[in-house]
Amino acid sequence: MKQIVAWSFVLMFVCSPQSGEAKTKVLFEAYYKIKSLNDHVGYYIQRYELDTKKKQFISTYFLKTNEAGGNISESLKAYSTDKLSPISYQYTSLQGKTAKTIDANVRKNKRDESILQVKVNENGKLRVYEKKMTKGTFFSTFLIYLLLQGEKGIQPGVKYNFRAVAEEDGKAYPGEVYVDSETKKMGLDVFKVLYTFKRTQFVNFIDSQGESIISISPAMQIAAELVTTPAEATQGITFNEKSIRLLFGDIPTGTTHKVGQSKGASPSPNRATPKTTTPPQPATTPAPGTTNDQDKVQ
């Protein structure tokens, strides 16, 4: 289960515009039940927003697994322009006693090239480096927009090669996404999407708006299924209300998606929010460590 952290980007195929008058609109919000060999080992909360004033996408997620799933806590807050140009992100993870945070920002150099500035703090050891980004590189959490903004949209036969930053590594990798066919899942018309990233293959079933219904990693034997209520995803798994509220600004209800609407899921957080426990906090920023490696790009 060590690869479940890298696998988390498989769940990020989501976008479903909703009405709203605030400058930041929730586009999609859902809870996913994570299974390994059909055993419930964790949950995943994903929210996508659009800041209409700044014209920025915001991706926020929280992942938690039990001991069978590696005892992992992971979170991300990422910002991108509505044209997929990366802006910044903050990533944290805690696996057992291993804590890791990444603070990344994108700047322009004198040649107008995009430079990724990364600060990695792992168990108190700080590394700082910069990497030049190839034109068109984006944060992997916004992968669905590559399809949604493509000239052909989402339809069988559509294929794209891309280069994206894996937020858990602070590094960019090549990838490929291919819309294989149309099928049905959970009573919905969906597309079967095949893609490869970091030398790992994934299968995702998404609807025409990019909402991820089911995600599968055959090699790792892990699957994630969208559920209509938080309790379905979090039952028996630690739910740290304080940490989740700090990350999202509130407790997500997980009902801003087509499956929840079609099944009439209640939007009330009082009815949907699972029982809260008080486990150790997920990864927080450790104190600066003893190393500081510089890899500067002019």
- Predicted TM-score of the model (pTM): 0.81
Q: What does the pLDDT read at residue 22? A: 54
CA distances from 205 to 35, 162, 224, 234 (A): 16, 19, 11, 22
Q: How many CB atoms lie within 10 A of CB 267?
A: 12
Amino acid in the structure at residue 273: T
Residue ranges of the chain whose pLDDT lies below 50:
1-3, 5-7, 9-10, 13-21, 266-298
Contact between 4 and 69 (Cβ < 8 Å):
yes
Tell me 234's DSSP state.
Answer: H
Tell me 39's DSSP state.
Answer: E
CA distances from 295 to 129, 221, 284, 287 (A): 5, 37, 25, 21
Q: What does the pLDDT read at residue 286? A: 33
35: nearest Cα among 188, 236, 283, 239: 236
- Distance, in Å, from the CA atom of 130 to the CA atom of 142, rounded to the nearest integer, reads 21
